[in-house]
């Protein structure tokens, strides 16, 4: 799905992503070689041990773990670092935890969709449950539970989680950014430029098995859900409409006309009229019965379609908005188990310029 088809994505971001993808091999070995040579003196910071390159992603986890988009930024950093290491440049992802802005606690909380398909806000109990699953001890003074959870889920072998000042002090070769980060920076980080490569985070919708079956059953694509619940349900019901009840009603009228008209009475005796009326009654009764059964079956199917399509909308396009901007990152391990983050990392394409659909089940 093209980025410009996703609601809420700024035009400046889609332009930035296209320029980045069109600028050549983002893993250009010569460029990273030059950056590695400059690294010890860059920004005055101390590099990582052993000449390891830093791929930095600054995220805002807030008190409840932050948005799914922030977690996708982390996974992009892990993917870039892994690819650099595979190409002979030892690298690791560094996740910088930004401080919460004033009033963050009173702002809208990230959300998740529960097992019943109901959208609700993430609450501290969700983080506590996740901490128990991961056996994360209570945070020490000054530490933040969301950061501890993120570090445990990403894995120590994949990422280092630091407070923002410590992460910013590292001489990074790549900084993973989202569209909220690039104001005034859209032309930096390009090949031949100075400073770290500004790498656009991946954009994705996570597809669970139930939603996938719903899309297949009703001939929908994720983009259809961005039009909103009512539009998606209306489109499905429109395709489900059947002419059968109407045809049965027409046939009923035809039976009444033929078996009640003058042509059926001419020269007929009383016994024939009684026989005709009895046949007409039986035929009309059966037609009415079949029509009621048909309408009942249609009503059941329509109710199931409404329920399933609404649930898919809640899971994939809540409120007609991208999943990554509405749901909290903790929804991933809570919905798909703690191992779900690893599966997602393996399936994300860090080079794709499009909005990706990732099957999780």
pLDDT tens digits, one per residue of 163-179? 989 998 888 889 999 98
291 or 34, which is more confident: 291
> Confidence band (pLDDT; 50, 70, 90) for 189?
very low
Scanning the structure block, which residue is given the tokens 């690893």? Answer: 342
Give the per-residue pLDDT at 267. Answer: 56
Q: Cβ(232)–Cβ(220) under 8 Å? A: yes
- The partner residues of 163 in beta bridges, in order of sequence, read 97
Both structure tokens of 180: 């909220």
> Could you read off the pLDDT of 192-246 as tens digits, one per residue?
456 788 999 999 999 999 999 999 999 999 999 999 999 999 999 999 989 999 9
Scanning the structure block, which residue is given the tokens 């993120």? Answer: 150
Nearest alpha carbon to residue 76 among 360, 344, 361 = 344
Both structure tokens of 276: 């005709």
Kindly report the backbone phi and psi dihedral angles of residue 358, in degrees, each rounded to the nearest multiple of 5, phi listed first: -110, 120
Q: Which residues contact 144 (CB under 8 A, 6 or more apart)?
A: 61, 63, 97
Residue 183: how many CB atoms within 10 A of its CB?
A: 9
Identify the three-state secondary structure at position 54: strand
Give the per-residue pLDDT at 262. Answer: 56
Where in the chain are the domains? 3-205+323-355, 214-315
Q: What is the DSSP letter of 328?
A: B
**Chain mean pLDDT for the chain:** 87
The least confident of 89-98, 188-197, 295-304 is: 188-197
- 150 vs 65: CA distance, rounded Å: 8
- 155 vs 157: CA distance, rounded Å: 5
> Confidence band (pLDDT; 50, 70, 90) for 141?
low
Answer positive or negative: Cα dihedral of 144, 147, 153, 158. negative
Mean pLDDT of 268-288: 88
Q: Phi-psi region for residue 104, left (φ > 0), alpha (ψ -120 to 50) or beta?
A: alpha
Identify the three-state secondary structure at position 57: strand
> Could you read off the pLDDT of 330-339 as tens digits, one per residue?
999 999 998 9
pTM, two decimal places: 0.85
């Amino acid at each position: 799905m093209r980025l410009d088809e996703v609601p809420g994505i700024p035009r400046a971001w889609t332009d930035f992503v296209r320029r980045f993808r069109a600028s050549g091999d983002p893993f250009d070995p010569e460029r990273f070689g030059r950056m590695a040579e400059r690294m010890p003196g860059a920004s005055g910071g101390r590099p990582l041990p052993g000449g390891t390159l830093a791929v930095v992603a600054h995220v805002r986890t807030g008190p409840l773990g932050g948005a799914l988009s922030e977690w996708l930024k982390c996974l992009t950093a892990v993917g870039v670092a892994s690819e650099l290491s595979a190409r002979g440049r030892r690298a690791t992802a560094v996740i910088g935890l930004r401080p919460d802005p004033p009033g963050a606690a009173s702002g809208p909380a990230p959300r998740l969709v529960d097992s019943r398909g109901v959208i609700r806000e993430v609450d501290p109990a969700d983080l506590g449950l996740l901490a128990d699953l991961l056996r994360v001890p209570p945070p020490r003074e000054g530490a933040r539970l969301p950061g501890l959870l993120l570090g445990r889920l990403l894995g120590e072998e994949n990422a280092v989680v630091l407070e923002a000042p410590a992460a910013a002090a590292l001489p990074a070769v790549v900084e993973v950014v989202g569209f909220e980060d690039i104001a005034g920076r859209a032309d930096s980080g390009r090949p031949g430029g100075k400073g770290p490569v500004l790498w656009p985070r991946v954009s994705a919708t996570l597809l669970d098995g139930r939603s996938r079956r719903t899309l297949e059953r009703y001939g929908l694509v994720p983009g259809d859900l961005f039009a909103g619940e009512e539009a998606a349900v209306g489109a499905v019901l429109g395709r489900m409409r059947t002419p059968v009840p109407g045809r049965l009603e027409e046939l009923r009228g035809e039976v009444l006309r033929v078996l009640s008209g003058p042509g059926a009475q001419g020269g007929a005796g009383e016994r024939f009229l009684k026989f005709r009326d009895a046949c007409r009654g039986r035929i009309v009764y059966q037609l009415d019965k079949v029509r009621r059964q048909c309408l009942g079956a249609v009503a059941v199917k329509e109710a199931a379609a409404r329920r399933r399509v609404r649930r898919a909308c809640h899971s994939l396009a809540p409120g007609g908005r991208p999943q990554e901007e509405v749901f909290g990152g903790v929804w991933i391990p809570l919905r798909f188990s703690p191992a779900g983050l690893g599966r997602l990392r393996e399936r994300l394409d860090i080079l794709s310029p499009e909005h990706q659909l990732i099957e999780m089940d």
